[in-house]
């Protein structure tokens, strides 16, 4: 048996999905064995993979979050592009079968798919319906409505958290910008070239951060960390409004002892044309370079196995990640799945709400993992009252641009 090492960052219900997929694949044939290994958070998994590659013992498949894409794309030689892997292995593969909002993110401008879009998500607003009912509130649609409902929640049984979010920069900078059709960075947020400059120290983002800073003072808003470590605060009932990935679904379903839904991200009604469309999150699978033809054959078979329509529908229903193929989305619709659980369609409706613009196709910034840390550090300073929102965003942009120029020098040939 040829072993295929698969490093990933999934926990809880989503880890169960990974284990089941590997077991089912292993049971379906006897030539290959996929071995999944949890390597920590997305940033940790990516760092572990890069270190292993440098030491000459990279895994076969690495799950890399969407913001690691530019770094992986620039690492030619370290990776085996998926479109090439499939052709070399003689596996049937048509990129047109996949949803373009997703594949665009992981393909070259020529449409060559570089990584396999395994688990894509978008940001949604998770709502504890029982708690909203207690304060007589409707599901808020706009940010001013969120602030109002959060104040009520805070004053009526939620003193430590009116609302919160995971992935602080994803929600409050990256998605916020796309959803309001304003740039995070020039050159279509980096999709049109690595010579991009950050531009998010602008009125919308500044107004939003100022509001969070103000509401943090009495915990009407309460910060919950850089990655998804704070999500338990929603399922425990502490925070009744919580913005994070649609892929929080599996854990919500398993743990929440209350009625819930996932509503679209709120928007500022004074921004003309808002809401625009959201961008994807989640991760894709990168196949590492330097493996044998037999190993590549097994990996290609595994990617075909993952693309199967019923399997895609299963992943979607179990995790809240998007169905990545058109056929799987159609099948979920035809089964009437969204009639019972309309909130699982929310991220798809957000992604396709309007035709994407330069500001809302996605983003591709080098050193993005490090950029996110810098931006989060600055936002944390603002929330702690050590800087104004404007100072924090100006510093995020300035420090970030320096890092982008470093990336351009070292990683782009």
Ligand X SMILES: O=P(O)(O)OC[C@H](O)CO
Can residue 167 be called a binding residue for ligand X (CB under 6 A)? Answer: yes
Strand duo 116-121 + 281-288: pairing? antiparallel
Pick the binder of ligand X from 121, 220, 235, 251 (CB under 6 A): 121
Taking CB under 6 A as the binding criterion, the range among 182-190, 205-213, 278-286, 392-400 that sits at the site for ligand X is 278-286
From residue 76 to residue 105, what is the string marking binding to ligand X with x (rule CB under 6 A)?
------------------------------
Report if residue 343 touches ligand X, rule: CB under 6 A: no
For ligand X, the closer of residues 25 and 170 by Cβ is: 170
66 near ligand X, judged by CB under 6 A: yes
The one segment of 45-53, 55-63, 276-284, 343-351 that binds ligand X by CB under 6 A: 276-284
Report the residue from 230, 281, 323, 400 that binds ligand X according to the rule CB under 6 A. Answer: 281
Work out how close the CB of 7 gets to ligand X at its nearest, in angstroms, rounded to a whole number.
15
CB of 247 to ligand X, least distance (A): 4
Position among 228, 235, 277, 360 found at the interface with ligand X (CB under 6 A): 228
> Closest Cα to residue 214, out of 383, 377, 381?
383
* Residue 118 within binding range of ligand X, rule CB under 6 A: no
What is the Cα–Cα distance from 329 to 98, expressed in whole angstroms?
10
Quick one: 170 or 221, whose CB is closer to ligand X?
Answer: 170
Closer residue to ligand X in complex, CB, 131/350:
350
**Residue whose C-beta lies closest to ligand X:** 281
Token pair listed for 300 = 């290609």
174 close to 184: Cβ distance less than 8 angstroms:
yes
Please say which residue, 26 or 255, places its beta carbon nearer to ligand X. 255
Q: In a 10 Å sphere around its CB, with 0-12 CB exposed, 13-18 middle and 19+ buried, how is residue 385 labelled?
A: exposed
Whether residue 366 contacts residue 411, with contact meaning beta carbons closer than 8 Å, is answered with yes
Q: What are phi and psi of 265, to 5 degrees?
A: -60, 140
Decide if residue 389 touches ligand X (CB under 6 A). Answer: no
326-to-241, 308, 352 alpha-carbon distances in Å: 31, 11, 13
Size of the residue set binding ligand X (CB under 6 A): 14
Judge contact between 279 and 360, C-beta under 8 A: yes
Residue among 312, 249, 305 nearest 98 (CA): 312
Query: Residue 1: is it exposed, middle or buried by C-beta count within 10 angstroms (0-12/13-18/19+)?
Result: exposed
- Least distance in Å: CB of 218 to ligand X? 28
Residue 32, helix vs strand vs coil = strand
Residue 174 CB, shortest distance to ligand X, in Å, is 9
Q: In angstroms, give the least distance from the CB of 193 to ligand X.
A: 22
Region from 91-99, 279-287, 308-316, 346-354 binding ligand X, contact rule CB under 6 A:
279-287
Backbone angles phi, psi at 16, to 5 degrees: -60, -40
Rounded Cα gap, residues 10 and 38, in angstroms: 7
Stretch of residues binding ligand X (CB under 6 A), selected from 59-67, 199-207, 263-271, 322-330: 59-67
How many CA atoms, within 13 angstroms, populate the side-chain half-sphere of residue 334? 9
Query: In the 8-state DSSP scheme, what is residue 171?
Result: I
Helix (H), strand (E) at residue 149:
helix 143-155
Considering the rule CB under 6 A, would residue 282 count as an interface residue with ligand X? yes
Nearest to 376 by CA among 359, 355, 353, 393: 393
Asked if 200 is part of the footprint of ligand X (rule: CB under 6 A), the reply reads: no
Q: Rule CB under 6 A: say whether 65 interacts with ligand X.
A: yes
Query: Which CB, 275 or 362, lies closer to ligand X?
Result: 362
Q: C-beta of 344: minimal distance to ligand X in Å?
A: 13
67 near ligand X, rule: CB under 6 A: yes
Residue from 7, 53, 118, 170 binding ligand X (CB under 6 A):
170
User: Under the criterion CB under 6 A, does residue 249 sit at the interface with ligand X?
Assistant: no
Nearer to ligand X (CB atom), residue 74 or residue 371: 371
* 18 contributes a contact to ligand X by CB under 6 A: no
**3-class DSSP state of 345:** coil
User: Residues 318, 250: contact at Cβ < 8 Å?
Assistant: yes
Q: Which residues lie below 8 Å from residue 99, measured CB to CB, with a gap of 6+?
A: 322, 323, 324, 325, 326, 329
Binding site residues, ligand X, CB under 6 A: 42, 65-67, 119, 121, 167, 170, 228, 245, 247, 281-283
């Amino acid at each position: 048996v040829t072993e295929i090492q698969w490093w990933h960052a999934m926990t809880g219900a989503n880890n169960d999905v990974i284990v089941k997929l590997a077991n089912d694949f292993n049971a379906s044939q006897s030539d290959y064995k996929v071995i999944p290994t949890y390597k920590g958070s997305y940033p940790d998994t990516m760092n572990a993979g890069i270190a292993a590659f440098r030491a000459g013992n990279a895994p076969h498949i690495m799950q890399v979050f969407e913001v690691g894409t530019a770094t992986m794309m620039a690492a030619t030689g370290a990776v085996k592009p998926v479109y090439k892997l499939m052709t070399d292995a003689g596996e049937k593969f048509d990129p047109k079968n996949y949803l373009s909002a997703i594949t665009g993110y992981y393909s070259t401008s020529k449409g060559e798919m570089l990584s396999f879009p395994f688990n894509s998500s978008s940001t949604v607003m998770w709502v504890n319906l029982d708690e909203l009912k207690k304060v007589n509130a409707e599901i808020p649609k706009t940010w001013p409505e969120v602030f109002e409902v959060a104040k009520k929640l805070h004053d009526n049984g939620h003193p430590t958290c009116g609302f919160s979010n995971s992935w602080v920069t994803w929600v409050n900078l990256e998605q916020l910008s796309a959803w309001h059709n304003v740039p995070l960075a020039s050159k279509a947020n980096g999709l049109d070239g690595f010579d991009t400059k950050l531009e998010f120290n602008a009125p919308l983002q500044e107004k939003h951060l100022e509001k969070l800073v103000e509401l943090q003072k009495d915990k009407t808003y309460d910060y919950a960390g850089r990655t998804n470590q704070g999500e338990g605060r929603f399922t425990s009932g502490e925070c009744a409004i919580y913005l994070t990935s649609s892929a929080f679904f599996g854990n919500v379903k398993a743990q929440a002892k209350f009625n819930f839904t996932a509503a679209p991200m709120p928007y500022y009604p004074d921004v003309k044309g808002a809401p625009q469309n959201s961008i994807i999150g989640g991760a894709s699978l990168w196949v590492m370079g330097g493996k044998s033809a037999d190993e590549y054959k097994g990996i290609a078979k595994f990617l075909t196995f993952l693309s199967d329509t019923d399997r895609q529908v299963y992943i979607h229903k179990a995790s809240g990640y998007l169905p990545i193929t058109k056929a799987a989305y159609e099948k979920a619709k035809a089964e009437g799945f969204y009639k019972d659980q309309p909130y699982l369609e929310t991220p798809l409706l957000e992604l396709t709400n309007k035709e994407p613009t330069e500001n809302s196709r996605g983003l591709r910034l080098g050193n993005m993992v490090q950029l996110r840390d810098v931006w989060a550090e600055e936002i944390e300073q603002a929330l702690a009252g050590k800087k104004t929102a404007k100072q924090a965003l100006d510093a995020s942009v300035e420090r970030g641009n320096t890092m982008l120029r470093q990336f351009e020098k070292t990683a782009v040939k």
